[in-house]
Amino acid sequence: MTWQLTPYAVPTLFAMGTAVVLGAYAARVGRDRGSDPTVSLFVCIAAATALWTGLSALKLFHTDPATKLLLYRALHVGIAALPPLFLLFVLAYTDRTGWLRPRVVAAVFALPLAFVALLVASPERLVVDGVDVARDGIVTVRVDDGPAFVLFSAYSMLLVACSVAVVGYEAVRVGPSYYPQAGWIAVGVAAPVVAGLLTAWEVPPFTGGVNLVPVSGAVSTAAFGAAVFRYRLFDLPPLAYTTAMKYSPDGMVVLDRDRRVVHANANGRAVVDATADSDAITGIVDGSDPESADGDLVKVAGDDGPKYYRPVVESLARGGRHVGWVVVLRDVTEQHRREQQLRRQTEQLDAFASTVSHDLRSPLTVAQGYLEFAQEDTDTDDDDAFEKVETAHDRMADIIDDVLTLSKQGKRIDDPEPVSLAAVAERAWESVETEAATLTVDADLTVRADAAMLRRVFENLYRNAVEHGESSVHVRVGTTEDGLFVEDDGPGIPPDERESVLEAGVTTNRHGTGYGLQIVDSIVAAHGWTLTVTESATGGARFEITGVT
């Protein structure tokens, strides 16, 4: 067994070493990440490349023609696997994993497997048409290709062309941010085929003598190395992120440490262009650190009126060092307009309620004064008419109070405090004219609520029980698993009226205003709770408040 040294083996050994390193790195990434077809296929590509280039280098070093021919057949196992692996890798990388079905994989590998089988079986002139041994400085073996080899070569070029086409299509679809990585992947895939074509056409230096096609493995592995380490092929799914960034309805802007825009999608660029004359982002973040603008509303002038964006800012770090920010700008124009409209409507409603109550109270106060004057000035013993007028005045005053209270409800309680349920319930009872009614409080519970509003709830429910029941009605306050209840032993509320009694103006008592229970429902909803009307164990009315914390 004799050996020879040749400089032609250096790039081939470089290709083998790079393939081994990249394959080991990808295998480690795959172990940490779990099942990932992109990483798994890349490991297979690296293994096939290492097999091809390693045996090619060994073939160059060996001088025995028979051994060289044996190594020639063995190295084509790696070559045969590369074109289908390239195509499957590109499909996985471009998120076309639906194609990676067993039937598709088997179909893609069918011809290469048949080629390897023929190569091993060595049928007469089908794969190898002839062998020439040359001893011009170094010993080389030149193999003439048979028809099966030509067919395999054509098939390989077709697969590589499809792979490059898919990568090119994605580069055009996604945009410039994908060009560098797509370019390196395309070079890595196409280099062996280009070298094979140059050899077939005998384009210098691919003419006779030493087969330089394995040298293209160095180009392929270097290109894949650039894609892996320079453009982080495995650390981030660039295509997925780039695609999401391009087609996101939100504006996305990447800033460096000097707050300059280094990348932006179309929506983000539109916001930047509308807020500043240059790439500086100071127009969006008011010249301060971008993180200080997180959540602040950004107003941008537009042809159809101003638009409003809410920025979300995330810091970017590399190697423990701050390198910039990512700013996501969400269009909240419609939401802002609705909020403004709702705020105006609320202000108008408050103003209307205050105006109406003032305009009603003024003549009511005058009428009450004249009524008192008439009562003092009359000599008649028949005060029935005066009592009716006074009752009507009291009813009007109650309606005004209830309408004014109701107009101020519906706003969520944003700052609740711990409140003793029993204490509030008992104080509310003291402020209601209860006549001979009695109260039992069995509620040793602390809740988070607005104490004044919760007291108003109890007052209205007590008043409802007294007004609709007998003078000796018994009212009970208790707790449930997730809330509380107020019930009485009065006549109760018919099932078909239990929803309507919570509506404005609905009452079964001719002296009632019809707003008391709606006020209760409004206050309960403002706390984020739920009010339910049902029946007590004695057949009376029962009001359950759930969702209490």
| 255-279 residue pLDDT tens | 777 777 777 888 887 887 776 544 4
The percentage of the chain sitting over the pLDDT mark of 90, rounded to a whole number, equals 21
**pLDDT band at residue 281, thresholds of 50, 70 and 90?**
very low
Q: What is the pTM of this model?
A: 0.52
Q: For position 366, what pLDDT does the model report?
A: 62
Residue labelled with tokens 């140059």: 198
Report how many domains make up the chain: 4
Residues 308, 331: Cα–Cα separation, whole Å? 6
Lowest mean pLDDT: which of 44-48, 256-260, 369-373? 369-373
Read off the CATH number of the domain in which 375 is found. Answer: 1.10.287
Which pair of tokens denotes residue 184?
Answer: 């390196």
Residue 370 forms part of a structural domain: yes
Mean pLDDT of the chain: 79
Residue 520 forms part of a structural domain: yes
Residue 412 forms part of a structural domain: no
Edge-to-edge strand order for the sheet containing 298-300? 261-264, 251-256, 321-331, 307-318, 298-300
Distances (CA, A) of 169 to 16, 163, 178, 186, 367: 30, 10, 11, 11, 85
Q: DSSP label at 230?
A: I
CB-neighbour burial class of residue 183 (10 A; exposed 0-12, middle 13-18, buried 19+): middle
Lowest mean pLDDT: which of 102-111, 190-199, 267-276? 267-276
> In terms of domains, do 378 and 494 share one?
no
Task: State yes or no: pLDDT of 109 exceeds 90.
Answer: yes
Phi, psi (degrees; rounded to nearest 5) at 129:
-90, -20
CB-neighbour burial class of residue 118 (10 A; exposed 0-12, middle 13-18, buried 19+): middle
Last residue of a domain, one of 224, 241, 258: 241
> In terms of domains, do 385 and 431 share one?
no
Residue 356 forms part of a structural domain: yes
Task: State yes or no: pLDDT of 111 exceeds 90.
Answer: yes
Q: For position 320, what pLDDT does the model report?
A: 63
21 against 268, higher pLDDT = 21
CB-neighbour burial class of residue 458 (10 A; exposed 0-12, middle 13-18, buried 19+): buried
> For residue range 115-164, what is the model confidence (pLDDT) as tens digits?
999 988 877 688 877 777 777 778 877 777 789 988 999 999 999 999 99
Q: Helix and strand tally (H, E) in the chain?
A: 15, 14
Last residue of a domain, one of 214, 241, 268: 241
> In terms of domains, do 283 and 393 share one?
no
The pairing of strands 417-420 and 307-318 is unpaired
Last residue of a domain, one of 299, 331, 363: 331
> For residue range 417-473, what is the model confidence (pLDDT) as tens digits?
999 999 999 998 988 888 789 999 998 899 999 888 898 899 889 988 888 877 789
350 against 517, higher pLDDT = 517
Q: For position 392, what pLDDT does the model report?
A: 59
> In terms of domains, do 26 and 144 share one?
yes
> In terms of domains, do 120 and 64 share one?
yes
> For residue range 160-188, what is the model confidence (pLDDT) as tens digits?
999 999 988 888 876 676 788 888 888 98
Q: For position 364, what pLDDT does the model report?
A: 64
Structural domain boundaries, residue 347: 336-407
Helix intervals (H) in 94-204: 102-121, 147-174, 179-200
Lowest mean pLDDT: which of 125-129, 230-234, 520-524? 230-234
Please compute the mean of the pLDDT values over residues 381-389 and round it to a whole number.
60
> In terms of domains, do 211 and 310 share one?
no
Which residue type, as a one-letter code, is found at position 216? S
Please compute the mean of the pLDDT values over residues 532-549 and round it to a whole number.
91
- What secondary structure, in 3-state letters, does 442-501 show? ECCCEEEECHHHHHHHHHHHHHHHHHHCCCCCEEEEEEECCEEEEEECCCCCCHHHCCHH
> In terms of domains, do 161 and 187 share one?
yes
**pLDDT band at residue 542, thresholds of 50, 70 and 90?**
very high
> In terms of domains, do 224 and 299 share one?
no
Task: State yes or no: pLDDT of 332 exceeds 50.
Answer: yes
Read off the CATH number of the domain in which 289 is found. Answer: 3.30.450.20
Helix (H) or strand (E) holding 231: none
539 against 433, higher pLDDT = 539
Q: For position 209, what pLDDT does the model report?
A: 64
Q: For position 339, what pLDDT does the model report?
A: 83
Residue 475 forms part of a structural domain: yes
The pairing of strands 530-535 and 541-546 is antiparallel
**pLDDT band at residue 377, thresholds of 50, 70 and 90?**
low
> In terms of domains, do 307 and 226 share one?
no
Residues 121, 413: Cα–Cα separation, whole Å? 84
Task: State yes or no: pLDDT of 545 exceeds 60.
Answer: yes
> In terms of domains, do 454 and 509 share one?
yes
126 against 84, higher pLDDT = 84
Task: State yes or no: pLDDT of 214 exceeds 90.
Answer: no
Which pair of tokens denotes residue 213?
Answer: 């096609």
> In terms of domains, do 439 and 481 share one?
yes
Residue 4 forms part of a structural domain: no
Q: Provide the CA 425 distance to its chain's centre, in angstroms.
A: 45
Residues 529, 549: Cα–Cα separation, whole Å? 9
Which pair of tokens denotes residue 153?
Answer: 């070569």
Helix (H) or strand (E) holding 87: helix 65-93
Residue 255 forms part of a structural domain: yes
Phi, psi (degrees; rounded to nearest 5) at 306:
-65, 150
Q: For position 288, what pLDDT does the model report?
A: 47
Please compute the mean of the pLDDT values over residues 314-326 and round it to a whole number.
71
Which of 374, 368, 432 shows the shortest CA–CA distance to 400? 368
> In terms of domains, do 35 and 169 share one?
yes
Q: For position 361, what pLDDT does the model report?
A: 62
